[in-house]
Amino acid sequence: MTTSTLSSIGADRTGSDRRFCTFFLGDLYLGVPVTKVQEVIRAQERTRVPLVSAVVNGLMNLRGEIVTTIDLRRRLELPPLATGIESMNVVIRSDEGVVSILVDEIRDVLEVGNAEFEPVPATLRGTCRELVSGIYKLDDALLLILDTDRLLDIPPPNHTVHAHHEQDAEPNR
Amino acid sequence: MDDGELDEVVNEFITESHENLDQLDQELVHLEHNQDPEVVARIFRTIHTIKGTSGFLGFGTLESVTHVGESLLSKLRDGAFPVTTEITSALLAMVDAVREILGSVAGDGSEGSLAYPELVVRLTQLNDGPAAPVEPEPVPVVAASEPAPLRAIAGGAAKKPRKRAPRTLPVVTVSTAKDDSGVLVETESLDDQPVDTVGMLGLQLLEDHKISEDQLAAALRQQDDGDTRRLGEILVEANALSPKDVREGLKTQVEDRPTANETIRVDVSLLDDLMNLVGELVLARNQILQFTQNQGDPSFNATSQRLNLITTELQAGVMKTRMQPIENVWNKFPRVVRDLTIGCGKQARLEMEGKHTELDKTLLEAIKDPLTHLVRNAVDHGLETPQQRLAAGKPAEGVVRLGAYHEGGQVIIEISDDGAGIDAGVLRRKAVQKGLLTAEEAAGRSDRDMLNIIFQPGFSTAEVVSNISGRGVGMDVVKTNIEGIGGSVDVQTVLGRSTTFKVKIPLTLAIIPALVVTVSGDRYAIPQVSLLELVRLDVHHAQSGPNGQGGGGIEWIQGVPVHRLRGRLLPLVFLDEVFGGDQTTSAVADREAYNIVVVQADDHQFGLVVDEISDTAEIVVKPLGRLLKHVDAFAGATIMGDGRVALILDVMGIANHVGITSGERGAGRHAATNAEAADAALDRRRLLLFSLGDRRLGLPLEAVARLEEFRARDVEISNHRPVVQYRGEIMNLVDLGEELRIPRARVDGQPMQVVVYTESDVSVGLVVDEIFDIVEESFEVTQRSSVNGIQGTAVIQGLVTDVIDVRGILDAALPGLLARHTTNRTSEVAAA
């Protein structure tokens, strides 16, 4: 994280720009800017999309519009959600159109102060480091802010297939 | 007038002018061949309107360009000199200039920097040509004092285009203002509109030959001089006509008027929005209908039935608003052909048939370029030079024919020329030279298969085109574009005689018929256009040995499944494997039967093995989000009746994904299917073998559309004949046993075996006892038969088999049904 992006996130934030829709994903307390969020809805029936990255969880019908759902756990390389718990949809507007991300549990919309902002610690590794644009130090928790653009920049499926099946390469061809 | 209002006027002017210009192109080309004074008058009027309006709006360049053109046209109209090629070219150049300026106005509001001095000089010179003095202002704004423009007006109005004409008509008539907006908004009743209405009446009367121009001119002058009476009254008083004529004239006028006032311009984006909303409504309707099925409430049922009907009608209505005649694209072809023939020293005539055939506006836009390309090719490469044609015993003038008609929910567009045709031998040589085929491959291909190579990217290069009398650059692009909108293109040629390109495209893109299938518990929709047939194989039948004798089962070539479908190898794709569903259990073991959806992608036929075939449905195509744009196996998604999303398969994408289209795997073989009927007739014929009682019979397979089973209770009686409901239509049943007087071995309770015969969209079901097999072999009809309905008898598979004459039987059993239909279509095309 360079200082320039840091300042663009930390500074100049007023009102709604510093408000985040927050949710839990396992132990992670995450947030996306509330301006990006169209709505939050319960789990919907989804249709599986074959031949794409497993991160794409499926398609759902949102009042006649077809919305792609993203499995955030898979995207962050976390283990799947325990069965029996329904995930929630955070529907966000992005350059890629309207997309829904699946999260475990929805929390409040928080307004945070600039003073609490910190860049991502250099020691954070993996996808999390790639996708988190900064951290707000709250009194009782750390709020990780997701970079939705990078979140939706999903690696093509071949990549993941090969990563998982390096031994039995090219299983389908 | 504030800016917004002005913009509106300018926009209106641009839109209208563009429409008129397209027509001008056509009319100028027409004029070149036929010195038709009416057409000159029409062209004059159009240019005059543009000139007048541009003056009013302050477009100086536009005014000056059109002004010289107008002067020239007025000379032509007065018959000062005939229309020559040179004049036509200059006038066409003027039309282009006007188009350019208007384009610039539409873009940034200015006329652009070009002043077209050369064009103005060129037109002026032509104008001065035969020594006639230049008429300074032949502007018939004050038409009352000049009979000549009236002739022009009346002449123009007397012809068909009255529907379009009224808008421009009054502009040059009695209204003394340049602004014609008064007419455009004219909606009041006759009585409140003395001046304009009377002017219209005058024209009407002139058109009906009730009065002469001089009489009308005199009456109008009288009005101008302060006579406040109506035109009709003046004319009656002058004994020019009877009061009855006036009344009739007024009546006609009133009847005519709605055509002028009931058309409104609507923004295309508004129509798109409406279309989307109707799409939503269709989905909601589907959901409600599904819900209704689980409900007992009769009044709710009735309401939803009504909703169903209304939605269907609304959908049809909104679709219709987006429909435009193909004429809109064809209109520019006369000009294209003219310019090309002049450019390459050929002579060509363009014939059009069915130009009122309508299709969706988006599709119309999409086929514009491919069609232009095909037309250009027809002239450029299809037609020979006049010398060559004469040498070949043909008239020097070649014919390029455009035809359009609806068939089976599709629009068929044919572009044909009576040129030299495409020599398959040359194509073979070229393909080998280009390294696209090996010499053996090329030799092994039928002429028909070879033809399709012109659509291959590597083949159609300029170099090849110049060497063969074949097709040109970018045929692959034409094909890609047409396929991009769900259409197909096909070429047929007769060497030395003709070449025909047949383009098939769907009527609309937004709502398409599709087959719904299930794979690993997920539903998918397969667009009907790529669908060929459905095959069901029983599992014990299907697995007849690993190297199977293939009694219609599934066989494996190095792990690749294939099925012999009527003697041809059909590659199979197990969709559950391709899609890698959740159910990892071997579906093969659990299946009772294989459901194979035979589809066509490009020239490749293959079978998609699915778990279940549900139903056909009208689906609303929704785009996939940008995240999934790169997945070419899916063409989009749709929302099913239960509100869930189903993916729409892109058959071509799947073929690419599994590698069916790579290489030459079966390409040629499958492409042959269409031509089979013809090819097979020569030596080998394919027969469907069946039994009636103890007799063994065969019927030519090309007559067979499908094989079906019906139960006795499905049969209903209509018009004293047995019928069944089949695919949403009523299909006549013909009992072959009865027709051929062969006692059938009836078994009660067993379903009837029915062979569906289809000819020009009419299907008839032939009831037989048992269907055995399909054979392809050369056989000889050894004995001509004297029995009606039997073509003859042959020995097939060592057994005596009667080959029936389907058409003969059907003509006897259902006299007129097929013949009548065929004639209907022909006359329809002719009428169009």
Is A17 inside any structural domain? yes
Mark yes or no for CB contact B647/A154 under 8 Å: no
User: Domain extents for chain B?
Assistant: 1-139, 140-264, 268-321, 325-506, 512-672, 683-829
Q: How far apart are CA B244 and CA B253, in angstroms?
A: 14
Tell me, yes or no, whether A165 lies in a domain: no
| B637 vs A56, A66, A156: nearest CB | A66
Nearest-angstrom CA–CA distance, B486 and B529: 7
**A contacts of B623 (beta carbons < 8 Å):** 66
Chain B residues with beta carbon closer than 8 angstroms to that of A154 = 627
Whether B628 and chain A come into contact, CB under 8 Å, resolves to yes
Which residue in A166, A148, A167 sits closest to A70, CA to CA? Answer: A148
Q: Are strands A132-137 and B604-610 parallel, antiparallel or unpaired?
A: unpaired
- Hey, are the CB atoms on B644 and A98 less than 8 Å from each other? no
A58 contact residues in B (CB cutoff 8 A)? 645
| CATH at A28 | 2.40.50.180
CA closest to A50 among chain B residues? B579
Determine, for residues B646 and A52 on separate chains, whether the beta-carbon distance falls below 8 Å. no
Structure confidence by residue, pLDDT tens digits, A4-55: 443 344 444 444 568 999 999 988 999 999 999 999 998 888 999 998 888 8
Question: Which residue in the set A50, A51, A96 is minimally distant from B625, CB to CB?
Answer: A96
Strand B522-527 relative to strand B645-649: parallel, antiparallel, unpaired? parallel
Q: Do A66 and B639 touch (CB under 8 A)?
A: yes
Which chain A residues touch B580 with a CB distance below 8 Å?
50, 172
Q: Is residue A169 part of a domain?
A: no
Distances (CA, A) of B536 to B25, B241, B487, B560: 56, 78, 27, 19
Out of 3.30.70.1290, 2.60.40.290, 2.40.50.180, 1.20.1270.10, select the CATH number for domain B683-829: 2.40.50.180
Per-residue confidence (pLDDT) for residue B609, from 0 to 100? 92
Chain A residues with beta carbon closer than 8 angstroms to that of B647:
47, 49, 59
pLDDT at residue B746, rounded to an integer: 67
pLDDT at residue B524 in the model: 94
- The answer for residues whose C-beta is within 8 angstroms of residue B479's C-beta and 6 or more apart is B455, B489
DSSP H helices in B322-454 = 327-330, 333-344, 361-377, 386-391, 424-433, 439-444, 447-451
Q: Structurally, how many domains does chain A consist of?
A: 1
A49·B623 Cβ contact <8 A? no
Distances (CA, A) of A111 to A16, A20, A30, B43, B540: 8, 6, 14, 70, 67
Pairing mode, strands B612-620 and B511-519: antiparallel
CA angle centred on B366, ends B413 and B312, rounded to 5° = 80
Interface touch B628/A68, C-beta < 8 Å:
yes
How is B445-464 classified by DSSP, letter by letter? S-HHHHHGGGGSTTT--HHH
* C-alpha span between B213 and B737 (Å, rounded): 75
B283/A64 Cβ within 8 A = yes
Is B183:B193 a contact under the CB 8 Å cutoff? no
Topology adopted by domain B1-139:
Four Helix Bundle (Hemerythrin (Met), subunit A) (1.20.120)
Beta bridge partners of B777: B685
Q: Where are the beta strands (DSSP E) in chain A?
A: 19-25, 28-33, 37-41, 56-62, 65-71, 88-94, 97-103, 105-111, 117-118, 132-137, 142-146
Q: Name residue B250's amino acid.
A: L
| pLDDT value of position B508 | 66
The topology (CATH level 3) of B268-321 is Helix Hairpins (1.10.287)
Q: By the 8 A CB rule, do A50 and B573 touch?
A: no
Interchain CB contact of A130 with B (< 8 Å):
no
Report in angstroms the alpha-carbon separations of B449 from A53, B490, B666.
Answer: 39, 11, 11
Going by C-alpha positions, the residue among B493, B502, B416 that lies closest to residue B450 is B493
DSSP 3-state assignment of B674? Answer: helix
Evaluate whether B689 touches B801 at the Cβ level (below 8 Å).
yes
What pLDDT shows up at residue B680? 35
**CB nearest B579 (choices: A51, A61, A99):** A51
Residue A93's φ and ψ, nearest 5 degrees, are -95, 130
Please state the separation of Cα B693 from the chain's center in Å.
Answer: 47
Instruction: Give the residues across from B324 on adjacent strands.
Output: B359
Contact B627 A64 (CB under 8 A): no
Pick the residue of A51, A95, A150, A160 with the most B CBs within 10 A to test the interface with B by mutation: A51
Task: State which residue of chain B sits closest to A67, comparing Cα positions.
Answer: B625
CA distance readout (Å), B612 to B232, B521, B530, B609, B634: 75, 9, 18, 9, 19
Structure tokens at A32: 């996306």
The CATH code for residues B512-672 is 2.40.50.180
A154 touches chain B (CB under 8 A): yes
Contact B526, B597 (CB under 8 A): yes
* Residue A123 within a domain: yes
In B495-549 the beta strands, taken as DSSP E runs, fall at 498-506, 511-519, 522-527, 531-538
Q: Provide CB contacts within 8 A for B613, sequence distance 6+.
A: B515, B516, B517, B518, B534, B595, B597
Distance of CA B292 to the CA centre of its chain: 37
* Residue A51 falls inside a structural domain: yes
Quick one: which of B694, B610, B687, B605 has its CA closest to B647? B610
**Best residue in B523, B578, B645 to probe A by mutation, most A CBs within 10 Å?**
B645
Q: Which CATH class is domain B325-506?
A: alpha beta
Chain A to chain B, count of Cβ pairs less than 8 Å apart? 75
**A170 in B contact zone (CB under 8 Å):** no
In a 13 Å sphere around the CA of B379, the CA atoms on its Cβ side amount to 26
Q: Is the pLDDT of residue A102 over 80?
A: yes
pLDDT at B249: 63
Query: Which of B268, B171, B191 is closest to B232 using CA atoms?
Result: B191
Rounded CA gap, B196 and B167, in Å?
12
- Provide the residue range defining the domain that includes A14: 3-154
Q: Which amino acid, B388?
A: Q
Hunting for tokens 């360079």 — which residue is that? Answer: A2
Starting at the edge strand found earlier in the chain, the sheet holding A65-71 runs: A37-41, A88-94, A97-103, A65-71, A56-62
Which chain A residue has the Cα nearest residue B278?
A64
The residue written with tokens 């031509």 in the block is B675
| Whole-angstrom distance, CA of residue B375 vs CA of residue B428 | 24
Shortest CA gap A141–chain B (Å): 33
* Residues B326 and B413: beta-carbon distance below 8 Å: yes
- CB contact (8 A) between residue B627 and residue A65: no
Please name the residue that has the structure tokens 């600039």. Answer: A114
pLDDT, residue B226, reads 65
H or E stretch at B269: helix B268-293
Report pLDDT digits (tens) over A140-167: 889 999 998 888 888 776 543 333 333 3
Q: Does B325-506 match B1-139 at the fold level? A: no
Per-residue model confidence (pLDDT) at position B690 = 87
Compute mean pLDDT per 10 residues along chain B, 832 residues long, and list them.
Answer: 64 80 80 80 83 80 83 81 82 85 79 77 74 39 37 37 34 32 32 42 64 71 67 69 67 50 77 82 81 82 88 84 87 87 86 87 86 87 88 90 81 90 84 81 80 75 39 70 81 88 79 87 88 82 46 73 83 88 49 85 84 84 79 85 86 83 42 37 64 82 79 83 84 85 73 82 85 70 64 73 82 74 40 36
Q: Which residue on chain A is closest to B654 by alpha carbon?
A: A51
Q: What is the C-alpha separation between B331 and B327, in angstroms, rounded?
A: 6
Instruction: At B792, list the tokens.
Output: 């003859």
Instruction: Report the residue count for chain A.
Output: 173
Q: Give the distance from residue B653's alpha carbon to the nearest chain A alpha carbon, in angstroms.
A: 12
Q: What is the Cα–Cα distance from B794 to B699, expressed in whole angstroms?
A: 12
**Which SS3 state, helix, strand or coil, does residue B610 take?**
strand
Write the DSSP string, B691-743: EETTEEEEEEGGGEEEEEEE-GGG-EEETTEEEEEETTEEEEEEEHHHHHT--
Could you tell me if residue A129 is inside a domain? yes
* Min Cα–Cα distance to chain A from B632, Å: 10
Contact flag A61-B630 (C-beta cutoff 8 Å): no
Q: Quick check: B352 contacting A, CB < 8 Å? A: no
